[in-house]
Amino acid sequence: MEKVNWQSIFWINVPIGVVGIALSLWAISESRDERAPRSIDLYGLVTVTMFLFCLVLAFILVNHPDKGWTSPYILTLFGIALVSLIAFVVGELLLKHPMLDPRLFKNPSFTGAAIAGFTLSAGFYALFFFLTMFFQNRLSFSTLETGLRFLPMSGLVFVGAPLAGRLTDKIGPKWVRPAWACSHWASSS
């Protein structure tokens, strides 16, 4: 198992994807919005792609020996990314059927869920990266031993996510009040 090339990790997604497609076709009933347009938001696609491409490329190249945070090339990439993001948001506000309607962020539940999802994913991926380095470089675990140690955490996410979704459907999303607000309301009534 240790002699398998690292590029083979990309092949594991093929059978998982086939099983996922088969399960989706079996378990999910077809639904569609007949009023939705049958076109792609090319404006949104191009502007968000430019934003992400320039931003990621700038972060990748910022530590290059010939470049740095103040390099004209890096600053240009950040500038193009910023202009593309602004163009994306303004354009999506003006389109009748945008890819992502920025007005959704006026809904506190949507915004809170988006922020929570982003921070959870960012923290989780950072945790996986640094724990992998720790297990392999510091504790001298093999790649397989490291992967096996991640199985319980991945299993909890695999089982916990659907349960959390069902629980949210039953009790609904609620705002968590800070302790000081609860004590303030209790003392004022």
Give mean pLDDT in consecutive 10-residue pieces for the chain, a chain of 189 residues: 69 87 85 78 94 95 86 94 96 89 89 89 89 93 88 84 78 56 49
Say what the pLDDT of residue 110 is: 86
Say what the pLDDT of residue 88 is: 95
Residue 138 to residues 13, 31, 123, 135, Cα–Cα distance (Å): 29, 50, 21, 6
Is the pTM for the entire model greater than 0.85? Answer: no
Same domain, 102 and 118: no
Pick the last residue of a domain from 83, 106, 129. Answer: 106
Same domain, 94 and 55: yes
Q: What are phi and psi of 182, to 5 degrees?
A: -65, -40
Number of H helices, E strands in the chain: 6, 0
**What's the domain range around 92?**
40-106
Say what the pLDDT of residue 34 is: 77
